[in-house]
Amino acid sequence: MEEEKKLLLFLSMYDLTINKLDQIYSVLGEDRSLKAFFKSKEIEKLFAKDKFEQLRQLYDENRISNYQKNLQNQDIHIITRFDSTFPSQLKNLPDSPYFLFCKGDLTLLSCPSLAIVGTRKPSNYGRVVTDKFAKALAKEGIVIVSGLAYGIDSIAHRKCLEVGGKTIAVLGSGLNEIYPKEHMALASEIASQGLLISEYSPNRKATSYTFPQRNRIIAGLSGGVLITEASIKSGTIHTKDFALDYGRNIYAVPGNIDSPSSELTNETIKSGQAMCVTSPSDILKDYAVMKKKEHKTEQAIQLSMDELKIVSLLQDGMKDIDYLAKNSNLSINIFNSYLTTLEIRGIISRLPGGYVVKN
Amino acid sequence: MLAKVKSFGLQGIDGFPIDVEVDVSNGLPHFEIVGLADTAIKEAKERVRSAIKNSAYDYPIKRVTINLAPADIKKEGSLYDLAIAVGMLSTNDENGIKNQGDYVYIGELSFDGSVKKVKGLLPLLISARSLGYKNFIIPFENSKEASFIEGICVYPVKSLDETVKFLKGEQNIEKIEHCSYEDIKNQKVSGLDFCHVKGQAMAKRALEIAAAGGHNLLMIGPPGSGKSMLAKCFPTILPDMTFEEALEVTKIHSIAGELDLNEGIVSRRPFRSPHHTATIIALTGGGTHSKPGEISLADHGVLFLDEFPEYSKQTIETLRQPLEDGVITVARNKATITYPASFTLIASMNPCPCGNYGSKDRECRCSPSQITKYLSRISGPIMDRIDIHIEVDSVTYDQLKSVEEEESSEKIKERVNKARQRQIERFKNDKNYNNANMSVTQVKRYCKLDDKSEDLLRGAFESLKLSARAHDRILKVARTIADLEQSENIELSHIAEAISYRTLDRKYWE
């Protein structure tokens, strides 16, 4: 076992593809050790000639222990298929990763989890829906898994952290090469309050094919996949397909039939691949967690007449500010100040484009 | 024969006295001007000769040398023609000119002897008055401009002949009657009015606050949402200019040659909207023939920058000094000139390159990185100087056609004027004159919050994720909102409203 771990550690330094690793494993058979690795003629054939020679020369015991120390200094844990912490749901996948680089709370890997994925360019509807589901599910203790991308991914992470929930971000790049750069701060927040994982070595940059690969881990790691909003061209389709292959539950939030950004969700619902969900409790049923009663009434009592007027105008969905200002019959200065106080108390949210929505 | 007359030159926005010394002596016919004169002055030779000849006076067939003293300051422009001609004519006793030294002469000559208008008369007269000069002879076309200055005698002339006859005592010229600024300042109607802008209640309110406190404002909205219309109406609610402000603005416009000579004084706050291809020099001023730029022409008024991120990064960054200090200092190889530039910046931009980000009915075609890139064209330091940002959404057809009466600019302006009055009271011992220019210590002194408001602000920072730089901005805007309501203290509702004008600090641009 010890020998095998060493072998995997050694291989993890070189960013080999899953295919290559599979080949190496099938050649080695039962004798999985570094010794066997360097001895085998067949393995030598798997690599370009000088590449294998290089590997042989680079190898020594100190190098592996230095590598381990180095990772430790960066607070990066590397877990291999043979560690007890390696998530069992991943182990059984046909294309399971051989090792994972992790930063943060490793215990999250064994908690009930749900992936929330979707378009990188959400509409206001997508924002509202993601916000609602991420918050509600995180509050119930479900770990939210997503990919740290723009749009739905980052909203899911953020909203989850906002309510003190736990979240896992699966990266399509090394842990030190956060992509997109704008989410650097978010990533470090997740590292301290949740977990960042990646199958790529820490300094590996993201490339176009690493993201679909990353999606398989998102799908494999999670108990289910929720698509809140995605168009037919979205990369989310990969996550969905992986989830289907792995037999994960897929949930999708329906959207307007004429909205291009809800094409994929509507399509998966229509084809029966996904379960149509309209509230977080639809998902919670599958997770066997009982939804606790919320104490919303408390808030309602505290609202003044004027505030109530604004909130009641929002009862049937998103409205733009001018409409609200006009129909609440409040003078604009009073209206603006109520808007802020309502927002601070978390009763409403403001969205891009000057829209307001009730939470 | 030697003659000496007075004229005035211009440096930056101030005038300085010039002695025009004319020496006519025997020798070969020759004409020379010395004293660092530019081409326009050198060419005075031809204008003066033709003007004198065509006014039926004798042009001396002698050696003529003109000196413009002090000789070490560079002089520009055609405004010395009249002084040179009068000087030359007074060297000949036959013309019978007396008392030529009592006046300051400013004017350009035409070949037929008529006196033509000049640029920058007002600043010259103001400087001359402060140096104790009393009598002036100026072009008739410039009379309106000169009429607003008290305590000097200004004689407008139409031709060289008239000037000579006046100096000989043969013809009387009425001096310009003083015109009071108070009489004209309220006459202006620009045709624009907020009552023509339908809907946009939020934007109008924000503009009212910006006008009252002198806050810079940024509008974000899709194309066709009426951002430019709102900005154009903005000057109609700005508080009236005081006479001192009007003089300063007129000075700058006079130098730039942008003054309407029929009005003579700029009594409406200027509205400048340079195109985004404008060069840095067009904005800041300067150049070979130093001229104030757009930001100086917007002094005490509005500088409207439409499609803000389209301006080059450097251009936007040059706005930093004027936004901070209210002046722009331009260094050129000949001199360093400081022009006033205390304007209110109104900027507008689309939320993304295609303009549809966040729109309900149109799809945005931009990638997230494009949007971030677009927004990041406006740097933090510039954002720091913009107190109010609001989103402007397109108006629906129903709103457009609504017959509901919108509030007129006049009514809004009344409130703005009152709020400004409170600020003038508050800052009477300080250098600044509006809330937007408050220093850190002033913010501490004048923007005290009670416990409840303090709690609200703290809550806002936590739950709305406002950035730290928003703190003082919010306080300043809250101060102005309180002023608009004639309230001594900043109340809870004021601070709550102020927070709602910080769109860009939100983290929802993701």
- Encoded tokens for B78: 């055609």
Torsion, CA B288, CA B291, CA B295, CA B301, rounded to 10: 180
Cβ B202–A325 below 8 Å, yes or no? yes
State the Cα–Cα distance between residues A100 and A201, nearest whole angstrom: 9
Chain B nearest-CA distance from A148, in A, is: 11
Tell me the average pLDDT across A94-98. Answer: 89
Question: Is residue B1 helix, strand or coil?
Answer: coil
- Encoded tokens for B321: 């000094």
Q: Please, what is the Cα angle at A111 between A110 and A112, to 5 degrees?
A: 125
Q: What confidence score (pLDDT) does residue A83 get?
A: 84
Q: Which residues contact A163 (CB under 8 A, 6 or more apart)?
A: A135, A138, A139
Q: What confidence score (pLDDT) does residue A1 get?
A: 63
Chain B nearest-CA distance from A341, in A, is: 6
Cβ A260–B363 below 8 Å, yes or no? yes
Amino acid identity, position B480: T
B168-201: burial string, b at 16+ Cβ within 10 Å, e else: eeeeebeebeebebeeebeeeeeebbbbebbbbb
B279: left (phi over 0), alpha (psi -120 to 50) or beta: beta
Helix (H) or strand (E) holding B327: strand B327-331
- What length is written for chain A? 359
Tell me the average pLDDT across A329-342. Answer: 88
Residue B52 in contact with residue B163, Cβ under 8 Å?
no
Under CATH, what is the fold of the domain A106-286?
Answer: Rossmann fold (3.40.50)
Examine the pLDDT at A298 and tell me if it is beyond 50: no
Q: What confidence score (pLDDT) does residue B463 get?
A: 79
A118: left (phi over 0), alpha (psi -120 to 50) or beta: left
Tell me the average pLDDT across B460-478. Answer: 83
Q: Give CA separation, B96 vs B89, B106, B164, B170, B432, in Å.
A: 9, 21, 9, 10, 55
Q: What confidence score (pLDDT) does residue B5 get?
A: 94
Question: Token match 């000049």: residue?
Answer: B118
B65: β partners: B23, B32
* Nearest Cα residue in chain B from A323: B199
Q: How many CB atoms lie within 10 A of CB A38?
A: 13
What percent of chain B is modeled with pLDDT above 70? Answer: 97
What percent of chain A is modeled with pLDDT above 70? Answer: 96
Cβ A351–B358 below 8 Å, yes or no? yes
Position A129 confidence tier, pLDDT thresholds 50, 70, 90 = very high
Cβ B496–A325 below 8 Å, yes or no? no
**Residue pLDDT, tens place only, A2-14:** 788 888 888 888 8
Q: What confidence score (pLDDT) does residue A54 get?
A: 81
Tell me the average pLDDT across B321-334. Answer: 84
Cβ B497–A344 below 8 Å, yes or no? no
- Encoded tokens for A299: 């808030």
Q: Which residues contact B74 (CB under 8 A, 6 or more apart)?
A: B36, B38, B334, B335
- Encoded tokens for A352: 């891009």
- Encoded tokens for A261: 């950004």
Cβ A124–B492 below 8 Å, yes or no? no
Position A330 confidence tier, pLDDT thresholds 50, 70, 90 = confident
Task: Please tell us whether the domain made up of B185-424 is placed in CATH 3.40.50.300.
Answer: yes
State the Cα–Cα distance between residues B287 and B298, nearest whole angstrom: 18
Nearest CA to B219 out of B211, B234, B230 is that of B230
Examine the pLDDT at B455 and tell me if it is beyond 70: yes
Chain A nearest-CA distance from B503, in A, is: 9
Examine the pLDDT at A290 and tell me if it is beyond 60: no
Nearest CA to B107 out of B68, B134, B80, B141 is that of B80
Partner residue facing A121 (CB), from B222, B364, B497 = B364
Q: What confidence score (pLDDT) does residue A293 get?
A: 47
Tell me the average pLDDT across B139-154. Answer: 90
Position B196 confidence tier, pLDDT thresholds 50, 70, 90 = confident
Chain A nearest-CA distance from B399, in A, is: 10
Examine the pLDDT at B260 and tell me if it is beyond 90: no
State the Cα–Cα distance between residues A264 and A270, nearest whole angstrom: 10
What's chain A look like in SS3?
A: CHHHHHHHHHHHCCCCCHHHHHHHHHHHCCCCCHHHHHHCHHHHHHCCHHHHHHHHHHCCHHHHHHHHHHHHHCCCEEEECCCCCCCHHHHCCCCCCCEEEEEECHHHHHCCEEEEEECCCCCHHHHHHHHHHHHHHHHCCCEEEECCCCCHHHHHHHHHHHCCCCEEEECCCCCCCCCCHHHHHHHHHHHHHCEEEECCCCCCCCCCCHHHHHHHHHHHHCCEEEEEECCCCCCHHHHHHHHHHHCCEEEECCCCCCCHHHHHHHHHHHCCCCEECCCHHHHHHHCCCCCCCCCCHHHHHHCCHHHHHHHHHCCCCCEEHHHHHHHCCCCHHHHHHHHHHHHHCCCEEEECCCEEEEC
Q: What confidence score (pLDDT) does residue A295 get?
A: 47
A84 vs B68, residue with greater confidence: B68
How, if at all, do strands B104-105 and B135-139 pair?
parallel
The full set of domain ranges for chain B reads 2-168, 185-424, 438-510
Task: Please tell us whether the domain made up of B2-168 is placed in CATH 3.30.230.10.
Answer: yes
Cβ A346–B508 below 8 Å, yes or no? no
Examine the pLDDT at B509 and tell me if it is beyond 70: no
**Residue pLDDT, tens place only, B81-130:** 999 999 999 998 888 888 888 999 999 999 999 999 998 898 899 999 99
Residues of chain A found within 8 Å of residue B367, distances taken between Cβ atoms: 120-121
Task: Please state the pTM of the whole predicted model.
Answer: 0.78
A291 vs B327, residue with greater confidence: B327
Q: What confidence score (pLDDT) does residue B187 get?
A: 60
Tell me the average pLDDT across A327-356. Answer: 86
**Residue pLDDT, tens place only, B390-424:** 888 877 777 777 777 888 888 999 999 999 999 98
Partner residue facing A344 (CB), from B459, B493, B506 = B459
Tell me the average pLDDT across A246-251. Answer: 92
How, if at all, do strands B327-331 and B388-391 pair?
unpaired
Torsion, CA A60, CA A62, CA A67, CA A73, rounded to 10: 180
Q: Give CA separation, B17 vs B7, B71, B103, B356, in Å.
A: 6, 12, 12, 58
Which range (A80-84, A97-101, B154-158, B291-295) has the least confidence? A80-84
Tell me the average pLDDT across B295-314. Answer: 92
Chain A nearest-CA distance from B461, in A, is: 9
Cβ A150–B204 below 8 Å, yes or no? no
Residues of chain B found within 8 Å of residue A182, distances taken between Cβ atoms: 372, 510
Cβ A332–B357 below 8 Å, yes or no? no
Examine the pLDDT at A291 and tell me if it is beyond 50: no
Cβ A353–B393 below 8 Å, yes or no? yes
State the Cα–Cα distance between residues B25 and B46, nearest whole angstrom: 19
The full set of domain ranges for chain A reads 2-73, 106-286, 297-358
Q: What confidence score (pLDDT) does residue A146 get?
A: 96
How, if at all, do strands B285-286 and B153-157 pair?
unpaired
Q: What confidence score (pLDDT) does residue A24 get?
A: 87
Distance of CA A137 to the CA centre of its chain: 14
A239: left (phi over 0), alpha (psi -120 to 50) or beta: alpha
Q: What confidence score (pLDDT) does residue B85 get?
A: 94
A294 vs B60, residue with greater confidence: B60
Asked, colleague to colleague, whether B2-168 and B185-424 share their fold, the answer is: no
Chain B nearest-CA distance from A349, in A, is: 9
- What length is written for chain B? 510
Residues of chain B found within 8 Å of residue A150, distances taken between Cβ atoms: 368-369, 510
Beta strands of B379-501 (E only): which ranges? 388-391
* Nearest Cα residue in chain A from B478: A337
Q: Which residues contact B48 (CB under 8 A, 6 or more apart)?
A: B81, B84, B85, B88, B109
Cβ B393–A341 below 8 Å, yes or no? no
Nearest CA to B159 out of B276, B258, B254, B55 is that of B55
* Nearest Cα residue in chain A from B366: A121
- Given the candidates 3.40.50.2300, 3.40.50.300, 1.10.1030.10, 1.10.10.10, the CATH classification of the domain at A297-358 is 1.10.10.10
How, if at all, do strands A355-358 and A319-320 pair?
antiparallel
Partner residue facing A353 (CB), from B204, B205, B358 = B358
**Mutate which: A258, A307, A337, A338, vs B, most B CBs within 10 A:** A337
Q: What confidence score (pLDDT) does residue B186 get?
A: 63
Phi, psi (deg, nearest 5) at residue B154:
-120, 125
Say how many Å lie between the first and final Cα of chain A, rounded.
52
**Residue pLDDT, tens place only, A191-212:** 999 999 999 999 999 998 899 9
Examine the pLDDT at A38 and tell me if it is beyond 60: yes
Q: What confidence score (pLDDT) does residue B160 get?
A: 94
Residue A137 in contact with residue A283, Cβ under 8 Å?
yes
Chain A nearest-CA distance from B276, in A, is: 24
Nearest CA to B488 out of B455, B458, B450 is that of B450
Q: Which residues contact B1 (CB under 8 A, 6 or more apart)?
A: B23, B24, B25, B91, B92
Residues of chain A found within 8 Å of residue B491, distances taken between Cβ atoms: none
Which range (A79-88, A245-254, B500-509) has the least confidence? B500-509
**Residue pLDDT, tens place only, B38-51:** 888 889 999 999 99
Q: What confidence score (pLDDT) does residue A299 get?
A: 47
Judge residue A233's burial from the number of C-beta atoms within 10 Å of its C-beta, 0-12 exposed, 13-18 middle, 19 or more buried. exposed
Chain A nearest-CA distance from B239, in A, is: 20
Q: What confidence score (pLDDT) does residue B508 get?
A: 47
Interface of A with B (CB under 8 A): 120-121, 124, 127, 150-151, 154-155, 158, 180, 182, 260-261, 318, 320-322, 325-326, 332-334, 336-341, 343-344, 346, 350-355
